[in-house]
Structure 1
Amino acid sequence: MPAPSPHRRPSNPAAVLLAVVAAVAAALGTLVLVRADAGLTVRHLTVDGVPLTEVRAELPTPDVRRPGVVVAHGFAGSARLMRPIADSVARRGAVTLLVDFAGHGSNPARLDSATSDTTLAADLDVAVGYLRSRPDVDPDHIALVGHSMGAGAVTRYAAGHPEIAQTVAISLPDAGELPPGRPTRLLLIVGGLEFPGFRRAAEDAVQRGAAVGRRPAVVVPGVEHISVLFAPRTHEEIVNWLPSLDGTAAPRPLVRLAGAALLLVAFGVGVVPLAALLLPRRPTGGPPADPVPATAGRLPGLVEAGPALLGLAAVAAGVGAVAAAVLPTARMPLAVGGYVTVFLLVTGLLVLAGRRWLPGGRQATPTSGSGQAVAARPLVAARAVVAALALTGYAVLSVALPIHLGLTSALPVGARWWLLPLVVASCLLFLLGVEVVAVGRAGRHLLVVAVTVLVLTGSALVGLAPGFVLLVVPLFVFLLGWHAAWAAVLRRYAVPRWLLATLGAVLVGWPIATTLPLS
């Protein structure tokens, strides 16, 4: 029997099966997202520099004037994040208008913290004025819905504009500026798992008499600051409180999240057949995954290097947290992102520098992401370039598409175009440090990441980092975990560790650069 050609790639039934699963998940996710718009008419426009999204449903009596509802997002949110609420309200007959505040979503303007209240009020004024100008909108029935920062903005606006018919404040951050008894018709909603400050703000607003019949705020059980936006109870309270022409359409708050989740599954599963197609298998019989030698009475690998690795990661992250607080990160026009960028940059540089003091660090040979010598079976230059470009592009799509289509805006606009490479570069140095220290061991990789996340969380609790960091830590953990899963797959192949770090930098850095507000 003739020997198989060395250029012919052996069949991989598992990779073929996973490719089919990824294709099916992608098709289903796309179908769910397309059907989410069924029965709705969506129009994107910009008025006086403010990006607006108009959502309306078809009515059996098109000549009837409808109520108008402006929906406002919170800090680091966007019109896309509030789209499920807009859909629920529009299906009840109202004309719904989503707004991208300055510095958020598709709005390239920057939000200055010193004048933010004035800027938010001006953006709301544009949205309310546009709704009142529509011939099919009743100007006497304009309502406002806001979340977090947007909740504060709409309550302040309604308090100063008594012509606003009704207001809904979800996760109101502070009620201290509201005059007693105003707004006159205000519905307060807060998640049961939110930080105590949001519950206190709602109770304060109730005591001031600016609530529904002076009853306590609606507490939605089992949800926190973001998931409260997708809770069926939240949508039911809103559509039952606001004026409507149709009381029969049931809210579907999770449909867009479901479509995005299917796309996420498709991209997560699809990386396996893509790697099998683009990358050669790691050679068998090569050097061990961890080049640290075993010595008498000592265990190799994670157990041996664990204490040193833990200390290195803790010290590096601690210095990074302090450095990010004292360095002029405010010059970087990305709220919160400036701190996180410098934190990751300094932590990564210190981990890289401190690697030599780990057990076996001086003797460790240069390795691929799998811990093997790169020289064992080098990639052909042209093939390496193709693989790197294809995998990097795939990483961009896998993080940008599900977030943008099902959660919040994830496309760069304005200053984000030059901020994006800076943020990704800082993530690259951090993850390169993780790869160099981990030498292909998933346990070491997760240990450095876990310590880094704990220090970042602690820095927010003690006031070094912006408090908003606490709200984005779960997303940060998810993205780092997603990269760890990708790395576990790709380490089976002859892939250089710089490519593993690059893919992780895209997965983590892209959301940071495109979702945090321009400041």
Structure 2
Amino acid sequence: MRQRFLRLSPIRWSVIALAVALILVAWQQVLAAGQGLVARDMEGAGGTPLRYLAPEGASGAPGVIVAHGFAGSKQLMYGFGYGLARAGYGVMLLDFDGHGAARERLDPAGDALQRNLAAAYTLLVAQPEIDPARIALLGHSMGSGAVMTAAIDLSEQYEATVAVSPTGAAVTPDTPHNLLLMAGSLEPQFLGNARSLLAQAGGASDDVSGGVGRALVEVPNVEHITILFSRVAHQAALDWLNRVFEGPGAEVAADRRMAWFGVHLGGWLLLWLALSPVFSAGAEQAPPVVRRRPWWSWLGLPMGTVAAALLLFLAGRVIDVSRLGGLLVGGALGLWFLVLGVVWLLSGFRPPRPVVSEVLWGLLLFGLLWLAFGVMAQITWLPWLLIPERLARWPFVAAAVLPWLLAAALAQHRARPAARLGWWLLQSAVIVAGLGLTLILSPDLFFIFLLLPLFPLILGLVAIAGAALDRPWAAALGGALFWGWILVAVFPLA
């Protein structure tokens, strides 16, 4: 191994140096977002995980409770949290039951969301920097409905409400106080909801001093997820709250944390590719491991997506597939990939038996992906460190996606870069189309639609990292452990 490192070319050593520099600069930039702020992690009544942000030295500051949407977390709302905190607000972010670090399961039919908001309110008004008479709510998607409902039921507690990508609530011309609705131009369903809510609330009004201010902001060129990172959205929320609380005008700094997250991820991939001769040494001399029928094996990919969609549809006639495996939607998605993978493998592949060395290489690949993608995600947008209840589900979800990733690795074994690019494009198109068919047949899984843009990106990340090894079982195992971790981290506990 040491000799392999010594034989790396000067160009590769230069790339390694560049990669390390990118990783370090990205960390410096992301950590800078919290400079000048007080940050406290705490737990509210019922075990609600909370994170509090406020300017250092603040006193008598207005407070804002920031609530995420379905399959979100307090990390996903950091863009609003940091922007408001830097502008002088005390911000309490929370994980609803079933989400992020919360150990309680989500019961969509219960009152868990209101209980979580009440826990956040209790601790927010107890913070020394906060003026308890000036409190507002901000929520996204599922969280928007929760905060609007709380502001209607407890109108004496909340002076303003910001509903981002709103769902629904029993708003009136008088309640909630000072309602700002916001939706992206690329999410027509939620934009339509916002327009209906504005009409139901009595139409636009500038009377914030009377508590009946109403407004709608259409945020350009964003959809359901990217609106959370939009400077226009952050500025609109701050401007509205400053009008209500008579705060000074302020400009929100552009939230570039996700751009630096991309730089960090790119740095790790560069490092991995630059070291690929060390990892792949010997693999190119080994005989090919793929034995497949030469012309119809690729048909297993679209056939598998159709079979998966039909199976979930039929299973949904008997059971609630949206709660499979104790994960809302995530368990059904794991089953979908399992069916896809089994059908694709049976279409013509004969996988070799895995050997210990392949398992070890797969664990190394997973370690790379876990560090490159997840460690910075924990402080930017995704709760990556799994609580025990999620960790217990991880091996099963990883096992479910393994056949699909093994078939993909066998199909691309010893392929040239152009062919691998073609496979990525084909897989991305077929999987997105197959999931679209699934949503038509099983509307209860609609949330998957909002995540469709992420599938090609994650698939590309796993494909690039696996190509550096070109060991099918190693690529499949490392990718499966990584995909399983993501699915378990994202979807709520049922």
What interval of TM-score do these two structures reach, taking the shorter chain for normalisation? 0.7 to 0.9
Selected match of 1:475 from 454, 457, 460:
454
Unaligned runs of 5+ in 2: 206-212
Selected match of 2:300 from 288, 297, 312:
312
Selected match of 1:26 from 19, 23, 26:
23
CA shift, 1:80, in A, is 0.8
Structure 2 counterpart of 1:81: 76
Structure 2 counterpart of 1:506: 481
- Structure 2 residue 84 is the aligned partner of structure 1 residue 98: no
Give the conservation status (yes or no) of the 8 Å contact 2:22–2:267.
Answer: yes
Residue correspondence of structure 1 range 266-305 to structure 2 within 5 A = 266-283=267-284, 305=295
SS of alignment partner, residue 217 of structure 1? strand
CA shift, 1:230, in A, is 1.3
The verdict on how the C-alpha distance between 1:210 and 1:185 changes in structure 2, with shifts beyond 3 A counting, is farther
Give the conservation status (yes or no) of the 8 Å contact 1:435–1:445.
Answer: no
Give the conservation status (yes or no) of the 8 Å contact 2:4–2:277.
Answer: no
Give the conservation status (yes or no) of the 8 Å contact 1:131–1:137.
Answer: yes
The verdict on how the C-alpha distance between 1:211 and 1:271 changes in structure 2, with shifts beyond 3 A counting, is farther
- Structure 2 residue 164 is the aligned partner of structure 1 residue 166: no
Structure 1 counterpart of 2:124: 131
CA deviation profile, 1:120-172 (whole Å, cap 9, x unmatched) = 01111111122223344222211001111111100111011112100000000
The verdict on how the C-alpha distance between 1:45 and 1:71 changes in structure 2, with shifts beyond 3 A counting, is same
CA deviation profile, 1:53-95 (whole Å, cap 9, x unmatched) = 1100024xx5x41111101011111111111211111122221
Determine the C-alpha separation between the residues in 2 that align with 1:7 and 1:89: 51
The verdict on how the C-alpha distance between 1:503 and 1:252 changes in structure 2, with shifts beyond 3 A counting, is farther
CA shift, 1:16, in A, is 1.5
Give the conservation status (yes or no) of the 8 Å contact 1:32–1:258.
Answer: no
Structure 2 counterpart of 1:418: 392
Give the conservation status (yes or no) of the 8 Å contact 1:184–1:210.
Answer: no
CA deviation profile, 1:86-111 (whole Å, cap 9, x unmatched) = 11111222211101110111111110
Deviates more, 1:478-487 or 1:236-245: 236-245
Structure 2 counterpart of 1:393: 367
The one-letter code matched in structure 2 to 1:167 is: T
Structure 2 counterpart of 1:360: none
Determine the C-alpha separation between the residues in 2 that align with 1:80 and 1:272: 30
Selected match of 1:57 from 55, 58, 61:
55
Determine the C-alpha separation between the residues in 1 that align with 2:132 and 2:154: 13
CA shift, 1:471, in A, is 0.5
Determine the C-alpha separation between the residues in 2 that align with 1:392 and 1:292: 27
CA deviation profile, 1:160-219 (whole Å, cap 9, x unmatched) = 1112100000000224x334532131001110111x221121111111125651765110
Structure 1 counterpart of 2:341: 348
SS of alignment partner, residue 415 of structure 1? helix
Give the conservation status (yes or no) of the 8 Å contact 2:164–2:183.
Answer: yes
Give the conservation status (yes or no) of the 8 Å contact 1:187–1:212.
Answer: no
Structure 1 counterpart of 2:148: 155
Give the conservation status (yes or no) of the 8 Å contact 1:191–1:228.
Answer: yes
The verdict on how the C-alpha distance between 1:275 and 1:487 changes in structure 2, with shifts beyond 3 A counting, is same
SS of alignment partner, residue 81 of structure 1? helix
Structure 2 counterpart of 1:321: 309
Give the conservation status (yes or no) of the 8 Å contact 2:324–2:332.
Answer: no
The verdict on how the C-alpha distance between 1:30 and 1:248 changes in structure 2, with shifts beyond 3 A counting, is farther
Structure 2 counterpart of 1:240: 239
Determine the C-alpha separation between the residues in 2 that align with 1:279 and 1:230: 38
Determine the C-alpha separation between the residues in 2 that align with 1:103 and 1:312: 35
Determine the C-alpha separation between the residues in 2 that align with 1:54 and 1:250: 22
SS of alignment partner, residue 88 of structure 1? helix
Give the conservation status (yes or no) of the 8 Å contact 1:367–1:439.
Answer: no
SS of alignment partner, residue 314 of structure 1? helix
CA deviation profile, 1:452-491 (whole Å, cap 9, x unmatched) = 3311122113435611110111112211121222233333
Greater gyration radius: 1
CA shift, 1:12, in A, is 2.5
Determine the C-alpha separation between the residues in 1 that align with 2:380 and 2:440: 30
Give the conservation status (yes or no) of the 8 Å contact 2:135–2:160.
Answer: yes
Structure 1 counterpart of 2:208: none
Give the conservation status (yes or no) of the 8 Å contact 1:399–1:507.
Answer: no
Aligned residues with identical type, % of pairs: 30
Question: TM-score scaled to structure 1, two decimals?
Answer: 0.84
Residue correspondence of structure 1 range 368-517 to structure 2 within 5 A = 387-441=361-415, 442=420, 443-444=422-423, 446-463=425-442, 466-491=445-470, 495=471, 497-517=472-492
The one-letter code matched in structure 2 to 1:227 is: T
Determine the C-alpha separation between the residues in 2 that align with 1:267 and 1:132: 42
CA shift, 1:414, in A, is 3.6
SS of alignment partner, residue 36 of structure 1? helix
Structure 1 counterpart of 2:210: none
The one-letter code matched in structure 2 to 1:417 is: L
Residue correspondence of structure 1 range 183-194 to structure 2 within 5 A = 183-194=176-187
Alignment: residue pair count: 472
Structure 2 counterpart of 1:298: none
Give the conservation status (yes or no) of the 8 Å contact 2:362–2:477.
Answer: no
Deviates more, 1:209-218 or 1:266-275: 209-218
Unaligned runs of 5+ in 1: 294-300, 357-363, 369-373
SS of alignment partner, residue 63 of structure 2? strand
CA shift, 1:396, in A, is 1.6
Structure 2 counterpart of 1:371: none
Determine the C-alpha separation between the residues in 1 that align with 2:289 and 2:312: 34
Determine the C-alpha separation between the residues in 2 that align with 1:312 and 1:84: 42
Question: TM-score scaled to structure 2, two decimals?
Answer: 0.88
Deviates more, 1:315-324 or 1:439-448: 439-448
